[in-house]
A and B are shown apart, each in its own frame.
Chain A
Amino acid sequence: MYGLEAISANNGWAMALLGITIVFSGLAFLSFFISRLHLFLEFWENKDERIAKLKKRFQKKPEIKKEAPVVKVPDNLQEAMAQFKMLTTRIGDPFSLPRLIEMAEMSGLFHPHSTVNKFIKAGVIEPDGKGFFTWKL
């Protein structure tokens, strides 16, 4: 058996194809390597600087803590707030707003309704979404 028949019978076509693929892959890899060679050389020349840059990139960035929104209480409300807070230590937090006003009235606090309203407007007291209210400070 000679010629093409012999090639076919002994997997010659497959071997040839494999050989071509290997050679072309090698050449492609080599050409790619050569085309990028200048980058490797450049990296090698400045290796200390490049390594430092890479290290910096992968270092964990310090987390910036988000500060809770600051509720500013006007000075004239500070004292009233302390008095009302004292009342809520007895009824707990979250608390019933009408109960707080009732206790403030019984304690003889000055203008309990409008003071509570000022607390709400200033964001010192907030509704808890369940019908009660809670101190934000």
Chain B
Amino acid sequence: MSTDIQTLKSLDLFSAFSNEELGFLVEIIDPLKVTEGEILTQRGTPATTFFIIISGNFMVSFKNGHAFTLHEKGNVIGWSTVVTPFNYTGTATALTDGEVLTISGDELLRIVQEDAPLAQKFMEKINKVVEERSPFVTGKIAGTSETTDNSEV
């Protein structure tokens, strides 16, 4: 079962994408139901899947006990699928039942490598997420004002 272009258009991550580009993505995106307590990504393991939240609430935790929570539609989990060394940096757990869109890391990388304009739009958004969350990965977050639901896309 695949998702549709309208659903993708409603997400900030794909707001700048043309219908043609969304057409490519629709082919590789699959919706997935998640249940409370389900682990989506495990820190340190190969990043094989990229997730986009449609509904539900999620927690991403890191090795030093740091964590943030995601509650908004369009928040993403698993940016490590497109950033070297392609290993998850955090453990994402579903706090409630919900639904996510999944993209295979290999497929996503293939599209990003083959289509330069699409890659640029996508990586612009991903870079923002990486910038917001990298303090959690490095553990250097003293004095920042990261909140539970401000992680755009």
Contact = CB atoms under 8 A, between A and B. Distances in A.
A128 B110 CA distance: 39
A114 B95 contact: yes
Interface in A82-128: 96-99, 101, 111, 113-114, 116-117, 120-121, 126-127
A78 to B, nearest CB: 20
Q: Is the interface of B mostly helix, strand, loop or mixed?
A: loop
Interface in A48-85: none
Nearest to B57: A117
B144 to A, nearest CB: 6
A131 B95 contact: no
A131 B142 CA distance: 9
Contacts of A120: 57, 69, 71, 148
| Chain B interface residue number, banded | 20 to 34
Contacts of A99: 65
A116 B65 contact: no
Given A96-B67, A98-B67, A131-B68, A113 B147 contact: no
Nearest to B67: A97
A3 interface: no
Contacts of B147: 127, 129
B36 A131 contact: no
A129 B93 contact: no
A36 interface: no
A19 to B, nearest CB: 73
Contact of A132 (B65, B94, B145): B65
B66 A131 contact: yes
B136 interface: yes
Tell me which of A96, A99, A113, A120 has the highest count of chain B C-beta atoms within 10 A of its own C-beta.
A113
Contact of A127 (B95, B139, B148): B148
A38 interface: no
Given A98-B65, A127-B68, A117 B148 contact: no
B68 A98 contact: no
Given A114-B96, A117-B96, A127-B68, 15 more contacts: A96-B66, A97-B61, A98-B59, A98-B91, A101-B93, A113-B93, A114-B36, A114-B95, A127-B148, A129-B145, A131-B64, A131-B68, A131-B139, A131-B146, A132-B67
28 contacts: A96-B66, A96-B67, A97-B59, A97-B61, A97-B67, A97-B69, A98-B93, A101-B59, A101-B93, A111-B36, A113-B95, A117-B96, A120-B57, A120-B69, A120-B71, A121-B71, A126-B148, A127-B69, A127-B146, A127-B147, A129-B143, A129-B144, A129-B147, A131-B62, A131-B64, A131-B66, A131-B68, A131-B141
